[in-house]
Structures are given as C-alpha cells and as structure tokens.
Structure 1
Amino acid sequence: MNMAVTGPREGFRGHSLADQMQARLIDRVDTKFLVPVHLLDACLRGLEHHYSMLEIDGNRRFTYDTLYFDTPGRQLYLDHHNGKLNRFKLRIRHYRETGDSFLEVKKKSNRERTIKNRLPLTPQTVAIGQVSHFLEEQLGLPVAGMLPALFVSYRRMTLMSPLGTERITLDTGLAFHSVDRQNGLRLPDVAVFEVKYDRKTPCSPLLDRLGQLGCRPVQFSKYCIGTSLLFGHECKTNRFKPLLRRLHGICS
C-alpha cells in the first residue's frame, strides 16, 4: 500500500491548512468511491497540475482516530440503515499528528444536505461545561444514553483545486475496533475517495479519471460499514450488503 500512496503524492504542490480553510464549499456535492489501493497511482498520475495537497510541517498523510457514539440499541446506525432523513452521527475525532481533538455532530437533513459542527475538546471547554451546551444546541435532546460504540482509524491525504471549488480526501489503512478492543478488522487493500465540489463546478479531473477507470460512486459510511462488519450478527445489514460484497471483492 505504501508504494501506491507514496509515489503520486510527491508530485503535487503543497498548500497550508489556512489555504484550505479559506476555501469553504457552501453549496457542495459529496461523492464517494471505493478503489483498490493498487489503482491509486493510476487514479492520481498526471493530475498534479489540477490539484495541490495539504501539507503541515512537511507531512502530507495524517492519522485520524475516531470514536463513534450510539444508543445501546444502535439507533443511530439503524436510522442510517433504514434511510431515515434528519439523522445524525456523534463522534470524537482525534488528529494524531497535532494532538487536537474535537467533538463532532454530523447531520443529514431531509434535503440530503450534510452539515457538520464541532467543538474543540480542551481542558477549558470541558471545565466550563461547553460540551453539554454544544450538544444541547446541536441536537436539542438529551444524550446521556449515548455510549461509545466503535473505534475507526485511517490515514488521510487531502487535495484541493486551485480555486478551492473542489476538495478531495483519500483515506487508506481503514481499521475498525470494538470499544473493548476484543474485535477488530483492517482493510489494507481498500482506499476511499470522497470528492467534495461546488455545484457550479464545470468539471472535475479526478471524477473524469475515476470514470475512465470504471470506478462508480457509492454511499459509504465508515461507522455503518464498520458496525456491519464487526456486529452484523447482532443488527440489520440488508441495506449495506451490496457494499459489503464490493469490499469483499476488493479484499479477496
């Protein structure tokens, strides 16, 4: 996997986190793709002049550790499985290289819009009770019944178009673990592209390339797929079976 990821990333010009934060995509479309890692070089080769890559202190790949929360009956998972609109996910995301952590609420509206809000987790925000205020403000309901449900980790690279109208994340090294660490699964052969672009963007070189390689868009939730893989014997998985078969095909 390292050879497939390392080769193309060195050819991209770097951009800073400040550059990326300035390029906010207001009315955006999100599209995800599952790609075998051995195709990554073919996906990215020749696109260096179309995108730059996030670089912080000389690093271009960053490790994300995420803890998802759910009810004891996995209601948030079931809401997604059943296609419920106005659903949400609750998680703590930790950036291993910088040491920063955030409490995040990711909502899906009944218009299929994704809205993410987050609160930095620092001794100050915890001490003055901002966590409870943030959750009440975002969700408007008690979350005392939420429990840690799943650990997810992966490594990410981020590309951005020169005008900031398109942003691409590339996740590799996906790993899922139960909260007690008794169950776990790694997907070293799978890469996840997510292309986020402004609705007015005329074209996307990467989307064109993925189409040429026969890659098709998928609906992919790391939390839901990880839950299906580790706890499929305990919960419904019918909605995700085509995607699970796709993963099996890549990994076999």
Structure 2
Amino acid sequence: MNARDSAAAAIATLPSVGLDALTTDAALLTRVDRKYVVPIEATASLLHALQRSADAPAALEIAGERELAYRSVYFDTPDLLSFRLAAHGRRRRFKLRTRTYLDTGAAFLEMKTRGARGLTRKERDAYDLDAVDRLTAEARDEVATALAAIGVQPERADDLDARLQTLYRRTTLLLPGEIPSRATIDLDLRWIDADGGGFTLPRFAIVETKSPGRAGALDRALWRAGHRPQRISKYATGMAALRADLPRNRWTRVLAGPFASTHPTRKDTPCAAA
C-alpha cells in the first residue's frame, strides 16, 4: 500500500461525525490556528496512532464522503498588491478568494482583511457558481468598501483579477477534549497560475489545527513526531514557489523544505474561465 492509500485507509477507519455535530461541538469563535506540512506517510501513521488512543478524532462525513474536493480562486492586482502586503508583513493587508465545494456545488466569496490595529476580519457570502473565476460588479463594490476600511485605495478593487487557483481534497476532524477542537488535512494539493502552469505537492499533506488556545492532542502528537508549525499561505507561498522573482523571506523554511519537492504541471488548466 502506498502512502496516499495508507492515508485514505486511516481516514476511512475513523469514527464519523455529521456537519451539525461538528459545528455545535467545535464552534471555536476564538481560536488559534497552527499549520504543518507533513509527509503523507507520517500523517497516516499519526491518524492510526490517534485512533488507538483515548484522543481518537472523528471525521466529518457528508453523503458518505470524508475527503471533500475544494477549489479556491485567489484574486490580486497586476502588481500583486495582496501578495506583497503579506510578503512584507504589512499590518494593513487583505486576501480575496472564491471557494467552491465541488462535491456539493456550493460557492462562496471570502475576504480577509487586517487593519491598522492588527484586527482580522473575515467576510463570507454565498456566490454564483458560474462566476467563481471572476468578480461581479456587486462583488467589486463590496470589496472596494472593505479595502477603504483598512486604508487601501478602494479603486484598487477594479484591478483585481484571478491570479492563482488551488485544488485539494480536505478531511475535517473533530478532536475530543474538555473543549472540542477541529483540524483539517489537505491532500492531493495542486496550484495553477493564471497562465495554466503550476505544480503539485504529492508527497505532503497540509495539516491545520484549530484550537481554543492551548495545543490539542493532534498538536502534541505532531510535536512528538518532530513536526512543528510552519508559516504557510496557500496563496502567498504558492505564488512565491511559482515565481522566483517574488519576495520569499517569510516562507523560506517551507519553500526550502517541502515545497522544494514540487512536481511541475502542464499549462492545460487556466485559472480563469475562457
């Protein structure tokens, strides 16, 4: 059995949980997110070990599926304002994407902004499935208002276009404890730029824990296995991996480590709809 099949088997043998129970037990209005880039074989081993422990997680299951397909399209200006604000650690910054849940056909427009006081605001609205590769006029108006609120020229909303898409299969876990928490495991990771070129990361999973503060059972298991949280953004790290001319200091560790093993893909899947 290869590493990917082993991970799938580990996910399949976990107890299942429905969406209503997941959101009720682990609402996590205030949370700490930690991200890890973990070899797939290590991810499978951790899940098998947790299944045999008192801290066994349950996997979200929807219509019999535990690995749900996601597609995100990220929007930025021609000079990559969103990317550069993140790359230079600016306090005022934003990230804009559409997210499509391919198994259910639901789509959302999500914008995350951070203002002068360092407070992060995330807005999420249902979006037209036929428009996920572009911004509608109504969406641009809403984005312009959000940009103005953090001191970015609102007219920059007119410059935003699809720059990168990511595709992956996500498993969401409910982790037991005094205060239940959540985690996600993203597999079959793929990045595609606006010209259709890109890369895959077949040997790794991105694991993200979402806890109410202190580290949970999965964090501790990851630490014992030698894995530590890493600074990674699917959009910004992906852009830095694709383009050597872009600033990359904030993601040097992960770019020199797991992302050094990326597999290039052909220019056959453009980011924006034709």
Residue type of the alignment partner of 2:158? A
Aligned residues with identical type, % of pairs: 30
Gap runs ≥5 in structure 1: none
Asked if 1:101 corresponds to 2:116, the answer is no
Residue type of the alignment partner of 1:13? P
Do 1:36 and 1:250's aligned partners in 2 also have CA atoms closer than 8 Å? Answer: no
- State the 1:84 CA deviation: 0.9
Matches within 5 A, 1:61-210: 61-108=67-114, 114-122=120-128, 131-132=139-140, 134-140=142-148, 141-142=154-155, 143-162=157-176, 165-181=180-196, 183-199=197-213, 201=214, 204-210=216-222
Do 1:190 and 1:251's aligned partners in 2 also have CA atoms closer than 8 Å? Answer: no
Q: Secondary structure at the match of 1:242?
A: helix
**What corresponds to 1:25 in structure 2?**
28
Aligned length: 247
Q: Secondary structure at the match of 2:49?
A: coil
Residue type of the alignment partner of 1:95? Y
Q: Normalized against structure 2, the TM-score is what?
A: 0.81
- State the 1:251 CA deviation: 6.0
| 1:182-218: CA deviation from partner (whole Å, max 9, x where unpaired) | x11111011111111002x5x5111111111100110
Residue type of the alignment partner of 1:138? A
- State the 1:138 CA deviation: 3.4
Gap runs ≥5 in structure 2: 149-153, 264-274
| 1:134-193: CA deviation from partner (whole Å, max 9, x where unpaired) | 434533334111111111111110101246631101111111111231x11111011111
- State the 1:114 CA deviation: 4.6
- State the 1:129 CA deviation: 6.9
